[in-house]
Amino acid sequence: MFVADLINEFLEALEVENGRSRFTTRNYEICLMRILEFNGEISDGDMKPDDITPEWLRKYRLWLNRYEVRDGHGKTLSVTTQAYHLVALRGFLKYLTKRGIKTLDPTLVELPRTHRPQVTFLHVDEIERIFKEIPLDTETGLRDRAIMELLFSSGLRVSELINLNRDHVNLQRKEFMVRGKGQKDRPVFITDAAAEAIEDYLAERKDSLPALFLNNSRNTPLQGTSGNYRRLTPRSIQRIIEKYVRAAGITKHVTPHTFRHSFATDLLMNGADLRSVQSLLGHANISTTQIYTHVTDPQLREVHKKFHSDI
């Protein structure tokens, strides 16, 4: 079989057998298609699994490092993005090996060292400034306030937020379960303010659609074949946030994930322990949560001042 056919089978297995989301599967597809693009530049024939050799891998890594994104600006792939491509390749090779198909040993695919990104977060006063820019006399304004209250009080990923239905959220108990990365369930808790904001928004809704948050754009059809035709997309959430961040005069680059960072940072600054924050964020590994330990650094000054002898 050719690599192109095997990639399609691998992607199907990811979604069906491994339970990966369509979003994750799509990302794997984008990365693996680069293998075929690379092969098209070095060979005229269809690629076979045994064409993937240590020498092929060396040339592929060099090609990735020099790859220019087709945006007209000569932008290349970041080290982190290159690592994603190699993770996808390694997963594909493991799949082939498991099926007994001769190819490169997956353990030979080593990932490049990546620098831990600096976490951008919003302070409480900045979040309050954003909230003040949201009008509460329209359904759209009530929706936008509910979205941002929920993001900040729960630490939800944007993919988790847009997939919420009305009946998922228990506004009386102010808690619910969400299925996150790796199909893992975790409890989510929300504040009184977030619950009230959602209640206010739902009270203005005149529809019976299941989605918790709807797109009110005039370009969105009023009728559809499923209950999801007006569900907001990640890009829609991003645009909503950008609108109010600009209105509040905040110059930071703020995304939906910034609210997740802000959620974790706020908990740690108020004394929460790292393990609890890990559970609330749904991180499988504590090392992922440790990107937030920067917020505890200012507290070290107080520990030093309080407990170190001043001779």
Any idea which residues carry the catalytic annotation? 157, 181, 257, 260, 283, 292
Rounded to the nearest 5 percent, the helix, strand and coil shares of the chain are 60, 5, 35
CA distances from 109 to 36, 37, 89 (A): 17, 19, 8
Taken as a whole, the chain contains a residue count of: 311
- Pairing, β 185-189 against β 175-179: antiparallel
Give the span between the Cα atoms of 200 and 143, in whole angstroms: 9
C-alpha pair distances (Å), 203 with each of 115, 175, 206, 265: 46, 19, 8, 32
Residue linked to tokens 């074949």: 225
- Closest by CA position to 288, among listed 116, 161, 48: 116
Residues 6+ apart with CB under 8 A from 187: 175, 176, 177
Look up residue 248 and give its two tokens.
Answer: 């509040």
Angle between helices 139-154 and 192-204 in degrees, nearest 10: 150
